[in-house]
Amino acid sequence: MGKRVISGALVLALLAAGTTSASAADPLVSLGRTTTASSVEVAGLEPDKAVDGDPSTRWASASGTAQEWIRVDLGSAHSVSRVRLNWETAYARAYRVQTSPDGGAWTDVFSTSTGDGGVDDLTVSGTGRYVRVLGTTRGTEWGYSLWDLEVYGVGDGTPPTGVGVPFGSRQQPYAAGTLRPSGTTSTLDAAVVDYYQRWKSAFVRQNCGNGWYQVISPDADHPYVAEAQGYGMVVVAQMAGADPDARRIFDGLVKWKIDHPSSINRDLLAAEQDVNCRSVNGGDGATDGDMDVAYGLLLADRQWGSTGTYDYRQLAIRHINAIKASEVNPQTNLLKLGDWSSAGDQYYYLSRSSDWMVDHFRAFRKATGDGAWDTIRTAHQNVISSLQQNHAPNTGLLPDFVENTNSAARPPAGQVLESVNDGKYYWNACRVPWRIGADAVTSGDSQSLAAARKLNTWVKAKTGGNPDGIAMGYQLNGTQISGGSAAAFFAPFAVVAATDPGSQAWLDALWNKMLRTPVDGGSYFSASIQLQVMITVTGNHWVP
């Protein structure tokens, strides 16, 4: 069915609802926003596909159920003037468009019982932070499916109340078949909150005044590093709803970011600060910290909106664009080590595997509408597949660093930046199972799932299902290079375990080891990684 505006029957329904004409100037406000649904037919048809700006992707509900819904969170209160629905074959015969200030109480702004599919371009009049399309009668034997859900309107300037995605709400369902540790939801969440409180007590500080909050890094080269601030922003934003101080802490971290810009690209964060909170070592940026800072700002926009002290969304988009401009190699579409690396230097074709945060690339694409992030994501996923196939066929392990990225990407033979183990699975790459797994469980992407399951299959066999056997470092063929145990090494494997329906006992063993492991006040690195793994495997990680 071709593109159309409101049919005669729909016009009558709108008039009955008291709607008015849309303002031609009202912008699209739903692009890339957090979107949830009552159900998803299969992986790849998640609700965010209806608001990603791509006309070839869609959301589809489970087949055969009459009452299903899709909901978009606009981030703050808006006056909504227009809703455009582009139905796939599975359309709604009867449905309602509704708004809500809080996601709980809903007001109809449009309803019909004579829908006929195609494109419904609806003039509406309503206010709310949330817009929902509620299907009540199917037009086909299937469920409901939308290529596009577009909401147009303007923010009313009122800061939102409450929290958009409170910890424990699990508004974004994981991919079908994803495991969680055994136990009740309340018990799992209580364990995460307890660990978070101990992590916060150990590492979150208000040093040097100026309204700053920081995450201290006692095990790093400097008291404050960008990586720690990025971890802090992501963690605190996700724990909103469980921690009443979350927004105050987050805003203090934002002020730190603003007041410590990179000397090269001022929309990025300087990588290192000394005991007096002054940027040192040139004040340039580090990609790992910048990736999480941008992601944390997007989380904050979904949690609290962007009409308060800081415009989180604007800051996020500026940060994302700065990453693309200064920390992505334009020839390879792979991340550089920082904004300090430029064409011609020895590090220009060197990348760090633990920086490859695929779910972050997806969030950046949604937030900016910039298709370059799809290209960047694909480039990283392809390199992961190539490295696993060609350099770690039996383990799936990735090296700390990858060189020669402009040709045949490979692990370095020796030291290229930090140590003789730069080409091995060591203190950087130990985060890779968590990073790959986070995308696998949230997106269901086949490449991420394959990479995650390869890692899981190897480590489960290597240790005989005993997480105490996970060592601190391996050659890519699986040979152990050092003994001991650290959360930074064993915790990330819990995320890839969650991708394998046959690994429940293994996941439970990893979870129980995490519960037995206290917060190490001397290692922000291990404690921050374990906390984020706990958030992820309990179903509380989400992609803004």
Q: Which residues are catalytic, by number?
A: 227, 288
Neighbours of 255 (CB within 10 A): 16
Query: To 10 degrees, what angle do helices 312-326 and 246-259 make?
Result: 40
Are 226 and 269 in contact, with CB atoms under 8 Å apart?
Answer: yes
72-to-52, 148, 363, 376, 431 alpha-carbon distances in Å: 12, 12, 15, 26, 32
Neighbours of 162 (CB within 10 A): 14
Closest CA to 110 of 124, 92, 130: 124
Proportion of the chain in helix, strand, coil states, percent, rounded to 5: 35, 20, 45
Neighbours of 18 (CB within 10 A): 10
The sign of the dihedral angle between the CA atoms of 341, 488, 521, 233 is positive
Q: Would you say 482 and 472 are in contact if contact means Cβ atoms under 8 Å apart?
A: yes
- Please say whether the dihedral angle defined by the alpha carbons of residues 404, 410, 415 and 419, taken in this order, is positive or negative: positive
Residue 376 tokens, joined:
């960047």
Three-state secondary structure call for residue 370: coil
Cα dist. 23→17, 81, 123, 129, 132 in Å?
18, 7, 9, 19, 20
Contact (Cβ atoms closer than 8 angstroms) between residue 59 and residue 145? yes
Output the DSSP codes for 495-540.
HHHTT-TT-HHHHHHHHHHHHHS---TT-HHHHHHHHHHHHHHTT-
Token couple for 397? 């392990």
Q: Which helix (H) or strand (E) holds 146?
A: strand 145-155
Which ranges of 282-395 would DSSP assign to H, the alpha helix? 287-304, 312-326, 358-368, 372-391
